[in-house]
Structure 1
Amino acid sequence: MDQRISFVTLAVRDLAVTRRFYVDGLGWDAAVDEVGEVIMIQVGEHLVLSLWSEDHFEAEIGAISRGTGVPPLTLAHNVASKEGVDRVLETARTIGADPVVEAVEREWGGYTGYFADPDGFRWEIAYNPGEIGRLVLP
């Protein structure tokens, strides 16, 4: 098996709200947009973010574990500067992301903050001055 990820799939409660957030709010282009079922957005050269309505997700995968708290994963979007982090967090705030956690200097040398999409999935917006940070920038 090749060492790569092709799709990241998130089950979402309300696909219309999710579309307004990602497509209308963040300005991302949908490669696939099946109303009521799924939105697929190419987020890398060989990587797709699949936003799948919960009922369609459960029909194929099985029951979703539900509870309180933050989903136990983060999605990260790295940028080339601290100012870039602040700009993305401001955009998230403008389109209604809640919460938006202000960026801070991290002990490992980076600068990161977070926002939540309409389903509570946390996006880390990061400036990572190290080699691994440069690896993921276009």
Structure 2
Amino acid sequence: MDQRISFITLAVENVPRSRRFYVDGLEWEPMFEDGDVIMLPVGEHLLLSLWSVEGFTAEIGEAPVRGIAPIALAHNCATEEEVDRVLSLAASLGANTHPAVRRDWGGYSGYFSDPDGFRWEIAMNPGPTGDYVLP
């Protein structure tokens, strides 16, 4: 098996609400949407899929566990100012945010939760992974 991820799928309670947050609010461009799912290109050969809980459950065979998912998605920024701008935008869209701070590992990061509680780290990373910033 190749070492890669092609899709990250989040089971969301309300697809239109998620669309308002990601597409209308964050201004991400969908590649595909049909009312039950929205697919957003988020990297080379990588899609973020926002899928209704009902569709997710029908295909997988069991409902997702409720509560805070023990995972964080991350978005690298080029500067600390950009981190602050993204967190401010998320807050203006109603996201629960935790302000950015300088971290022991040398970076600067904060967090927000999307409408379904999925956590996003917004970071300026000075290390090797910090060189990889999507345009």
TM-score by length of 2: 0.95
Give the match for residue 128 of structure 1: 125
Distance 2:3 2:89 in 1: 33
Residue 47 of structure 2: aligned partner: 48
The whole-number CA distance in structure 2 between the counterparts of 1:125 and 1:33 is 26
Q: What aligned pairs does 1:5-84 form with structure 2 within 5 A after superposition?
A: 5-35=5-35, 37-68=36-67, 70-84=68-82
Unmatched segments (≥5 aa) in structure 2? none
Query: Which runs of 4 or more aligned residues in structure 1 lie more than 6 Å from their structure 2 counterparts after TM superposition?
Result: none
Partner of 1:91: 89
Q: Which runs of 5+ in 1 are unaligned?
A: none
Write the deviation string for residues 16-45 of structure 1: whole angstroms up to 9, x where unpaired: 10000000010011111111x100000111
How far apart, CA to CA, are the structure 1 residues paired with 2:66 and 2:128? 37
Contact 2:57–2:64 (8 Å) recurs in 1: no
Number of residue-to-residue matches in the alignment: 134
| 1:62 Cα offset (Å) | 2.0
Distance in 2 (CA, whole Å) between partners of 1:80 and 1:65 is: 34
Q: What do you get for the CA RMSD once the two structures are aligned?
A: 1.0
Identity %: 57
Task: State the shift of 1:133 in Å.
Answer: 1.6
- Give the Cα separation in 1 of the matches to 2:4 and 2:64: 26
What is the rounded CA distance, in whole Å, between the counterparts of 2:129 and 2:43 in structure 1?
A: 16
| Superposed displacement of residue 65, structure 1 | 4.0
Q: Who is 1:108 aligned against?
A: 105
Q: In structure 1, the residue corresponding to 2:123 is in which secondary structure?
A: strand
User: In the alignment, does 2:130 pair up with 1:137?
Assistant: no
